[in-house]
A and B are shown apart, each in its own frame.
Chain A
Amino acid sequence: MGPISSLIPMPEWLDLLIALLIGIGFGFSLEQAGFSSSRKLAGMFYGYDTTVIKVFFTAAIVALVGSQFLSYFGLLNLNLVFVNEFYVAASIVGGIIMGAGFIMGGFCPGTGLCALSIGKIDAMIFFLGGLTGAFLFAETYPFIQKLANGSYKGPVKINEVMGISPGLFTFLLIIAAAAMFWLAEIAEKRFARPDITNEI
């Protein structure tokens, strides 16, 4: 039963080979989706291109449904899959800072890497900014340690907080995603910017 990495003692080279292959699949998917274009990504926040929400929620739902099926058939032990730990303040404040960075730079870290790989110079500069951001975080860490490590809740799951099964939550999420996709189509018509979308 998976994850494979906890099933067999994996030599380091194999672990890192998996990392490389997963990364290649990740970068390939992002680029095919058009996430190597900052103007396409930014369209999400002005309504003229809503690819971001479609790709993002489709991917999350595929992985969510897939992992639950694998678990149901005894192929994947979900207790051994990493669940992000919840630090309330750090998640919210960090998320707000990230959103500001998103609209300024037009990339997130993953899409920035993907864009620099096809030669986008703005993405290369975004990458340098990203390294600077990580450096600033490390250097300012002693001052923000409290915020970073405060209000710790552990690796809590959303369906448990709501008191429902993972399956029911997934079902509700699919309905919510379908509603968002429908709204996204409306937004793309209402805020259409052919001058931008024909260029990107």
Chain B
Amino acid sequence: MKNKYMNPYVAGTMLGIVLLLAMFLAGRGLGASGGFKYCVVSIVGAVDHSHADKSIYYSKYFEGGKKPLKNWLTIEILGVIAGGFLSGAISKRLKFKIEKSPSISNTRRLIFAFLGGVFFVYGAQLARGCTSGAALSGMAVLSVAGFVTMVAIFGSAYLFAWFFRKNWV
């Protein structure tokens, strides 16, 4: 029998303390989508360096010999994976599986998971942060950007929920 999840208010308090620690120790909030960006920037830099140098987008991440993989956010998301694994191990939730509603096929679940990733991270680059970096961390420092992004993400997900209901309920 797997262990139950933590009470949401207790887990939320723990998450809030981690966020507060990030603010106190590093003067910044939490992030996730930024780490995705630095991974891609590094891959593109390694595969086709001249393309990266010519691009107005990539070039700024290599200025002055900077290494995008040795970046705060890249290391932080490695930590997220380690922390998630640790928690899963303690609560006996480590298991390879495709989680989905019984009424859809594995293929359908994976196609939508892929598309979801594409949309989410594309939008996060545009908004300069995702649920972590823009919405949660932004709200914690009272930034208007944080509140607006939060309302836009949740509002849009509610709006689109009807179209994708077959995948979930």
Question: Which residues of A pack against B, CB within 8 Å?
Answer: 2-6, 12, 15-16, 18-34, 36-40, 42, 44-46, 48, 51, 54-64, 66-67, 70, 75-76, 78, 80-88, 90-123, 125-139, 141-142, 144-145, 147-148, 153, 155-159, 161, 166, 169, 193, 196, 200
- Contact across chains for B27 and A113 when beta carbons are under 8 A apart: no
Q: How far is the CA of A33 from the CA of B87 in the complex (A)?
A: 10
How far, in Å, is B59 (CB) from chain A's closest CB?
11
How far, in Å, is B130 (CB) from chain A's closest CB?
5
User: 9 closest pairs, A vs B, by CB?
Assistant: A105-B116, A23-B79, A95-B152, A129-B117, A99-B156, A62-B16, A94-B127, A58-B12, A27-B83
- Contact across chains for B88 and A157 when beta carbons are under 8 A apart: no
Q: Is the contact region of chain B dominated by helix, strand, or loop, or is it mixed? A: helix
- Contact across chains for A110 and B118 when beta carbons are under 8 A apart: no
B119 contact from A48, A101, A120, A138, Cβ within 8 A: A101
Interface centre among A45, A153, A193 (most CB of B within 10 A): A45
- Contact across chains for A22 and B136 when beta carbons are under 8 A apart: no
Which residue of B is nearest A3, CB measured? B27
- Contact across chains for A121 and B12 when beta carbons are under 8 A apart: no
Q: How far is the CA of A95 from the CA of B120 in the complex (A)?
A: 9
Chain B residues with CB under 8 Å of A36's CB are 84, 88, 93
Cβ of B49 < 8 Å from any Cβ of A?
Answer: no
Assuming the contacts A25-B21, A91-B152, A116-B81, asked whether A193 and B169 have C-beta atoms less than 8 A apart, the reply is yes
Chain A residues with CB under 8 Å of B147's CB are 158
| 27 cross-chain CB contacts under 8 A | A2-B24, A3-B26, A22-B26, A23-B79, A24-B79, A24-B82, A25-B17, A28-B14, A40-B5, A51-B8, A59-B13, A76-B23, A94-B152, A103-B157, A117-B80, A117-B81, A117-B82, A128-B114, A129-B116, A130-B121, A133-B120, A133-B121, A133-B123, A134-B121, A138-B44, A141-B56, A156-B143
